[in-house]
C-alpha cells in the first residue's frame, strides 16, 4: 500500500510502500521516553519502497543494550519523530504511524516489549472523555 507522511510543520515529508500486517505497538522504555507517550506505533517499509519527498531529517543514533544502533530520524524544525533505521545501509524503515496521512487504516497487528507496558494502558478508555477541550 502506498502512503505519504510528514512532520508536524510539513518541512520533512516522505512516501513509502507499506504492508498493513507489519503495523505494531512497541512498549519498550526507549519508545516510551522518545515518544513522550505510553508506547509508539510503527509500520515497516522496505528501503526500496521509501523515499524522502521534501526536506532532510536530523538523526539521533541510539545504541541499544544489545549494542545494535538505530538512527532515529526527526524534523530539525518541529522535532516530530519520523522513523528509525540502520545508520549504515538501511534495508528497512520503521515509520511512525502518527506521521502518516493514512494512519487510521493501520490497526496494530502485534505488541512488542510488553514486559515494559505500563499497567494501566488498557484502562485508557476509563476516564471521562470529551470530543474536544
In a domain, 9, yes or no: yes
Give how many domains the chain has, as a whole number. 1
What gap in Å lies between CA 23 and CA 107, rounded to an integer?
7
Contact predicate 62/69, CB 8 Å: yes
What is the structure's pLDDT at 117? 92
Domain presence at residue 129: no
The gap between the terminal CA atoms of the chain, to the nearest Å, is 34
Cα separation, 24 vs 96, in Å, equals: 10
Does residue 41 belong to any structural domain of this protein?
yes
Phi, psi of 20 (to 5 degrees): -55, -25
Residue 127, in any domain of the structure = no
Per-position pLDDT tens, the chain of length 133: 999 999 999 999 999 999 999 999 999 998 999 999 999 999 999 999 999 999 999 999 999 878 889 999 999 999 999 999 999 989 999 999 999 999 999 999 999 999 999 988 877 666 666 666 7
Q: Is residue 20 part of a domain?
A: yes
Residue 92 falls within a domain, yes or no?
yes
User: For the domain that residue 25 is a member of, what is the CATH number?
Assistant: 2.170.150.70
In a domain, 104, yes or no: yes
**Cell matching residue 96:** 511512525
* Residue 131: per-residue pLDDT: 62
Domain that holds residue 100: 2-118
Q: Looking at the domain assignment, is residue 128 inside a domain? A: no
Q: How far apart are CA 107 and CA 116, in angstroms?
A: 21
Residue 66: per-residue pLDDT: 84
Amino acid at each position: 500500500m502506498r502512503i505519504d507522511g510528514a512532520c508536524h510543520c510539513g518541512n520533512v515529508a516522505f512516501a513509502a510502500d507499506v504492508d498493513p500486517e507489519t503495523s505494531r505497538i512497541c512498549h519498550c522504555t526507549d519508545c516510551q521516553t522518545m515518544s513522550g507517550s505510553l508506547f509508539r506505533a510503527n509500520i515497516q517499509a522496505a528501503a526500496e519502497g521509501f523515499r524522502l519527498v521534501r526536506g532532510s531529517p536530523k538523526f539521533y543514533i541510539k545504541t541499544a543494550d544489545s549494542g545494535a544502533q538505530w538512527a532515529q530520524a526527526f524534523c530539525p524544525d518541529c522535532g516530530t519523530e519520523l522513523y528509525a533505521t540502520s545508520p549504515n545501509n538501511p534495508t528497512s524503515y520503521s515509520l511512525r504511524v502518527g506521521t502518516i496521512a493514512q494512519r487510521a487504516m493501520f490497526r496494530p497487528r502485534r505488541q512488542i516489549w510488553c514486559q515494559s507496558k505500563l499497567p494501566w494502558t488498557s484502562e485508557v478508555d476509563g476516564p471521562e472523555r470529551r470530543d474536544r477541550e
